[in-house]
């Protein structure tokens, strides 16, 4: 593919300078912002992520901030996950649905206080939907995109690197909880979370000016741990079953189809805009659902949805795929109709380079 032309519409991040110095070799566009996808090679990056520690520029995970007395009420209108038990200091993975129960985004919600929330969004224009709801319902809440850029520290040595910069107390942060830490006199929200199953943290960096000082400090402190710049890895995230909005699901899918039913409490999520629609689909259950797909061989780049065939019948689509060195097989994520979603079902995946034998699995690899 040809290069993408840089322009103001394609936003750089506070860490772009560091990413370029580290030798980034490919980007994607996410929320109209640069997101690195490859440094050395996807496979080399993958092995390093599983063995050491990486610093990821995930500034493209923009924050939709809700601020004001109606912030909590607005947040519950957006999601079928029951938020009543959520305390300040917690993060929740929350499906966001429209009035038909269709997925609009699958962000991480960060509850800073009763009247202040961040929605750390995947790749869709959620800000406009949230502003529309807030204004349409005349809610007492401010909705905007603050100057906050997440930086993820991922890998088995993430705790050691973070402790070297922020002190040993970062080790005590529990999964999907956050705390406040100081860096050069600036407050940093640090959560134990991230888009890999290798463990690690996300630093919500407030103010673009402190981005490179923090990046450089982490790179320096991580030398003994073989730290490198990295990015969400296209192999590891499939092994882990971490979904990619826009790829593995769209607004045509309900959370139940996406396998996100465990993050829905539709009966008790009073106020959720998609609640009535989801009550109906939750009753009978979905007729297609996300599955892990074992692909026999090295798949080409998954740049389109690949039909999943059972004989001459199309029974679903593979939407992400890669070669897994650790499992020595092709790995994929697909949406499969219920007639063929049982573990062990043999199918054929029609890639742009030709058909490949595949097997539907009911569990991901990690």
Q: Least separation, in Å, of the C-beta of 317 and ligand THG?
A: 20
**Residue 265 beta carbon to ligand THG: minimum distance, rounded to whole angstroms:** 13
> Does residue 202 bind ligand THG (CB under 6 A)?
yes
DSSP type of residue 300: -
User: Site mask, ligand THG, residues 230-259, x = CB under 6 A?
Assistant: ------------xx----------------
Judged by beta carbon, residue 57 or residue 70, the one nearer ligand THG is 57
CB of 234 to ligand THG, least distance (A): 14
Q: Quote the distance between the C-alpha of residue 220 and its chain's center.
A: 27
**Cβ at position 104, least distance to ligand THG in Å:** 12
Of 54, 120, 124, 154, the one binding ligand THG (CB under 6 A) is: 120
Q: In Å, how far are 49, 136, 254, 333 from 263, measured between CA atoms?
A: 27, 27, 12, 19
Separation of alpha carbons 366 and 363, rounded Å: 9
Find all residues with CB under 8 Å of 15, minimum gap 6, and list them.
57, 59, 149, 151, 211, 212, 215
CA distances from 130 to 66, 173, 177, 237 (A): 9, 30, 24, 28
Under rule CB under 6 A, residue 176 binds ligand THG: yes
Tokens representing 56? Answer: 């990821």
Closest CB to ligand THG among 35 and 356? Answer: 35
Other beta carbons less than 10 A from residue 107's beta carbon: 26
For residues 37 and 57, give the distance between their C-alpha atoms in angstroms, rounded to a whole number. 10
Residue 40 exposed, middle or buried by CB count within 10 Å (0-12, 13-18, 19+): middle
Least distance from ligand THG to the Cβ atom of residue 218, Å: 17
Nearer to ligand THG, 35 or 347 (CB): 35
- Please state the closest distance from residue 305 (CB atom) to ligand THG, in A: 19
Residue 114 CB, nearest distance to ligand THG (Å)?
21
Residue owning tokens 């573990």: 343
- Residue 185 φ/ψ region, left for φ over 0, alpha for ψ in the -120 to 50 degree band, beta for the rest: left
CB of 121 to ligand THG, least distance (A): 6
Does residue 183 interact with ligand THG by CB under 6 A? no
Terminal-to-terminal C-alpha distance of the chain: 31
Q: Is 188 in the site for ligand THG (CB under 6 A)?
A: no
Q: Is 149 in the site for ligand THG (CB under 6 A)?
A: no
Using the rule CB under 6 A, which residue among 89, 194, 211, 330 binds ligand THG?
194
Closest by Cα among 225, 201, 231, 300 to 40? 231
* Interface with ligand THG in residues 5-64 (CB under 6 A): 61
Establish if 106 lies at the interface with ligand THG (CB under 6 A): yes
Find the shortest distance in angstroms from Cβ 348 to ligand THG.
28
- Taking CB under 6 A as the criterion, which residues in 269-308 touch ligand THG? none
Locate tokens 């809610």: which residue?
A: 139
Per CB under 6 A, does 215 bind ligand THG? Answer: no
Which runs of E-coded beta strand occur in 239-305?
A: 288-295
Give, as ranges, the residues between 59 and 88 that touch ligand THG (CB under 6 A): 61
Measured in whole angstroms, the distance separating CA 85 from the mean position of its chain's CA atoms is 23
Judged by beta carbon, residue 211 or residue 307, the one nearer ligand THG is: 211
Of 24 and 96, which CB lies nearer to ligand THG in the complex structure? 96
Let me know the angle formed at the C-alpha of 308 by 307 and 314, rounded to the nearest 5 degrees: 80
Q: CA distances (Å), 217 to each of 57, 150, 162, in order?
A: 14, 16, 11
- Total binding residues for ligand THG by CB under 6 A? 16
Which residues here bind ligand THG, judged by CB under 6 A?
61, 93, 106-108, 120-122, 150, 176, 193-195, 202, 242-243
């Amino acid at each position: 593919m040809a290069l993408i032309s840089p322009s103001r519409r394609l936003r750089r991040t506070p860490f772009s300078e560091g990413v370029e110095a580290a030798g980034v070799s490919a980007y994607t566009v996410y929320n109209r912002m640069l997101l690195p996808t490859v440094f050395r090679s996807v496979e080399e990056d993958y092995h390093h992520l599983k063995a050491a520690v990486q610093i990821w520029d995930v500034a493209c995970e923009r924050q939709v901030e809700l601020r004001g007395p109606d912030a909590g009420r607005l947040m519950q209108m957006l999601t079928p996950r029951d938020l009543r038990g959520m305390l300040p200091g917690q993060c929740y993975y929350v499906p966001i649905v429209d009035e038909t129960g269709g997925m609009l985004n699958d962000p991480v919600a960060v509850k800073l206080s009763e009247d202040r929330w961040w929605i750390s969004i995947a790749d869709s224009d959620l800000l406009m939907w949230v502003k529309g709801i807030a204004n349409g319902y005349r809610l007492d809440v401010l909705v905007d995109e603050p100057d906050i850029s997440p930086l993820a520290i991922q890998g088995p040595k993430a705790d050691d690197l973070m402790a070297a910069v922020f002190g040993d107390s970062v080790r005590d942060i529990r999964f999907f909880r956050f705390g406040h830490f100081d860096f050069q006199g600036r407050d940093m929200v640090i959560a134990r979370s991230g888009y890999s199953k290798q463990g690690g943290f996300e630093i919500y960096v407030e103010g673009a000016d402190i981005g490179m000082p923090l990046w450089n400090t982490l790179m320096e402190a991580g030398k003994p741990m073989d730290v490198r710049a990295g990015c969400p890895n296209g192999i590891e995230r499939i092994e882990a079953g971490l979904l990619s909005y826009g790829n593995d699901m769209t607004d045509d899918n309900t959370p139940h189809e996406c396998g996100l039913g465990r993050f829905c409490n539709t009966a008790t999520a009073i106020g959720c805009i998609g609640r009535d629609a989801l009550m109906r689909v939750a009753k009978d259950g979905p007729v297609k659902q996300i599955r892990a797909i074992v692909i026999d061989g090295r798949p080409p780049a998954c740049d389109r949805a690949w039909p999943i065939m059972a004989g001459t019948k199309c029974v679903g689509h593979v939407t992400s795929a890669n070669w897994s060195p650790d499992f020595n097989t092709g790995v994929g994520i697909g949406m499969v109709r219920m007639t063929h979603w049982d573990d062990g079902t043999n199918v054929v995946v029609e890639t742009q380079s030709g058909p490949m034998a595949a097997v539907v699995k009911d569990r991901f690899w990690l």
